A and B are shown apart, each in its own frame.
Chain A
Amino acid sequence: MHIAEGFLPAPHALGWTLVAAPFVVHGARCVVKEVREHPESTLLLGAAGAFTFVLSAIKLPSVTGSSSHPTGTGLGAVLFRPPVMALLGTIVLLFQALLLAHGGLTTLGANAFSMAVVGPWVGYGAYRLVKRCGGGLLPAVFGAMALSDLATYVTTALQLALAFPDAESGFLGAAAKFLGVFAVTQVPLAIGEGLLGVLLFRVLTVNARPELVRLGVLRPDPERAEP
């Protein structure tokens, strides 16, 4: 999902930067507020950031014969709501743009919009939807992780199609081409990311119960409640 440095025409690069900026600024304020009001959240915030840091560094093979990396933004979106991930995801992208020549400064806005804004919000939406339909916590987490991953790559494909429409078939033709590269490869990775999210949440529900209850992810357990 990293659009390479310089590979968006300047108006697009500027436009996506302007679109993503308010989300990132709002996200930064949310992180500061969370840490100030609930210092005990810092550990889990660190875990959410670290999860994205690990997963976006690992390129995995897919059945299509190409490789790609997961995003890991669904975890923080479920725990702290999506705005927090707008900041954490952008920090990861900035790190990769500056040190790894992966993505870029001119494409940071577009990449942040797909990975740090659309992904977390779609994942959070899936999480709420599964829970509302009576699905348990773990299926909801699976949906959040898998769809935040997939939605990020679909967004990148659409951003590229918008910037480079096909000479004959226009935006739709280009979208089909870029989706063919990004979306299909991503399906097994999204499933894998969903399973990893379930694994992590199984650990968190046992060991971070008080935090998850406060964040509204778990219901207070009446048996364990203090009298």
Chain B
Amino acid sequence: MRRHLVTVLLVLAVVALFAVPLLAGGDSEYAGTDSQATELIEESRPDYQPWFESVFSPGSSEVESGLFALQAGVGGVVLGYVLGRLRGRRLAERTPAPPPVET
């Protein structure tokens, strides 16, 4: 029972950690730090020209967020598969093999 309580508290802590800034942060745009760094370079070195373009850019921000979701989804499926198999293995070890069926 205590084990489950700790798990629930950990999950709540993670959720709170990211929900609180969103709720309390007001009207910030939450720009990505990667693009902020790029802006910083463009500000301090207006003469700098990126010398290489991305080989492929998703056409719109919708497609881009879809591809990010795909990446997270694929990772989540694999992680879930592994954890499910490990758990299934443990449960199978715990239950004794059924008696042979007589025919």
Contact = CB atoms under 8 A, between A and B. Distances in A.
A62 B76 contact: no
Interface residues of B, number: 58
Nearest to B86: A207
A58 interface: yes
B25 A63 contact: yes
Contacts of B74: 50, 53
Contact of B40 (A43, A59, A177): A177
A221 to B, nearest CB: 14
Contacts of A181: 33, 36-37, 40
B72 A204 contact: no
A182 B38 CA distance: 12
A192 B34 contact: no
A47 B90 contact: no
B82 A43 contact: yes
B100 interface: no
A4 B76 CA distance: 26
Contact of B79 (A54, A99, A104, A208): A54
A150 interface: no
A181 B20 CA distance: 20
A69 to B, nearest CB: 8
Contacts of B96: none
In terms of DSSP, what is the predominant structure of the interface of chain B?
helix
A98 B25 CA distance: 34
Given A65-B25, A195-B10, A47 B79 contact: yes
A217 interface: no
Interface residues of A, number: 70
A194 to B, nearest CB: 10
Interface in A4-49: 4-7, 9-10, 43-44, 46-47, 49
Contact of A50 (B54, B82, B89): B82
A57 B14 contact: no
B59 to A, nearest CB: 10
15 contacts: A4-B50, A6-B52, A7-B50, A50-B79, A57-B69, A59-B32, A61-B25, A61-B30, A63-B25, A97-B54, A99-B67, A100-B64, A100-B71, A106-B51, A188-B18
Interface of A: 1-7, 9-10, 43-44, 46-47, 49-63, 65-68, 95-102, 104-106, 153, 156-157, 160, 164, 166-167, 174, 177-178, 181-182, 185-186, 188, 191-192, 195-196, 198-199, 202-204, 206-208
Interface of B: 3, 6-7, 10-11, 13-14, 17-18, 20-22, 25, 28-38, 40-41, 44-45, 48, 50-58, 64, 67-69, 71-72, 74-79, 81-83, 85-87, 89-90
